Structure 1
Amino acid sequence: MASTAHPMAVCVAVIAKENYPLFIITIPTENELKFYYTVHTSLDVVEEKISSIGKNTTEARELYLGLLYPTEDYKVYGYVTNTKVKFVLVLESTNTTLRDNDIRTMFKKLHNAYVDMLCNPFYTPGENITSRNFENIVTAMMQQD
């Protein structure tokens, strides 16, 4: 992979129903804490979107929440499972190659990996995710270009 390649995502987080992180991984940087802050601040927007979706009970529930908010350097996207587990992707604003469909596909891949990990009888739901397979899938998603 060329050194000029942009990562698809700079941060991927899985947040429990109760809003604590189950899994968070970032690209190596001197300021990883800002990604933790970005993910944490996005949870209010996620809750707002979930509650507004809940009011329209006639619609089928959309798991993909779309763009939560943009910052100067990043765009934050959200996804929520039927069990209210949240996925947050932080992408560089300069990454213009990704379309909405690509981001939906990334969330579906992440959701499938999460479901596979949940099927492991040694995993207790609500605990931090330590699955090497899950981490490998997420890392691969972050490195694609």
Structure 2
Amino acid sequence: MAVCVAVIAKENYPLYIRTIPTENELKFHYTVHTCLDVIEEKVSSVGKSSNDLRELYLGLLYPTEDYKVYGYVTNTKVKFVIVVESSNTQMRDNEIRNMFKTLHNAYVDMLCNPFYTPGENVKSKAFDNTVNQMMIQD
């Protein structure tokens, strides 16, 4: 399903990046980094069009030749990015939304841990297991 999952802090530094094992893992890091401008643009345009009602799911940020990049922003401005293969045509928008909801719930559960300091890299095994389930390919 997903080939890369990333959690980006409010200040735009990565808290968590997991990719499928390939020779080109750095390409996914670059892809996640380049989508931050698109996320900021979408968030600012949504904020101007509606008062305080904001959709967390940003949808397709941009497609590349091989991948599609989707984005999601929490109320605290933490960004989630999921990269899926472009050839995976059976992936529907509703499935992507559900992946983000699952990821957001796992992130909130991790934040509730009293031993986690917000802003640190994510090292939770439960969060890691959730991401691994998203990345299992059929």
Q: What is the TM-score of this pair, normalised by structure 1?
A: 0.93
Other-structure match for 1:122: 115
Other-structure match for 2:49: 56
AA at the equivalent of 1:133 = A
Q: Tell me the distance in 2 between the aligned counterparts of 1:123 and 1:56.
A: 35
- How far did 1:60 drift? 2.1
Q: Paired residue for 2:126, among 115, 118, 133? A: 133
Structure 2 unaligned segments of length 5 or more: list them. Answer: none
Deviations for 1:111-138, whole angstroms, at most 9, x for unmatched residues?
A: 0000000000000000000001100100
Other-structure match for 2:135: 142
Alignment of 1:18-97 (within 5 A): 18-58=11-51, 60-97=53-90
- How far did 1:144 drift? 4.8
Q: Tell me the distance in 2 between the aligned counterparts of 1:143 and 1:134.
A: 15
Q: Does 1:14 align with 2:14?
A: no
- How far did 1:58 drift? 3.5
SS of the residue aligned with 2:2? coil
Q: Tell me the distance in 2 between the aligned counterparts of 1:56 and 1:72.
A: 31
Structure 1's consecutive aligned runs of 4 or more residues displaced over 6 angstroms after TM superposition are none
Q: CA RMSD in A?
A: 0.9
- How far did 1:97 drift? 1.1
Identical residues among aligned pairs (%): 79
AA at the equivalent of 1:47 = E
Deviations for 1:18-70, whole angstroms, at most 9, x for unmatched residues?
A: 00000000000011000000000000000000000110234621000000000
AA at the equivalent of 1:37 = Y
Other-structure match for 2:98: 105
SS of the residue aligned with 1:10? strand
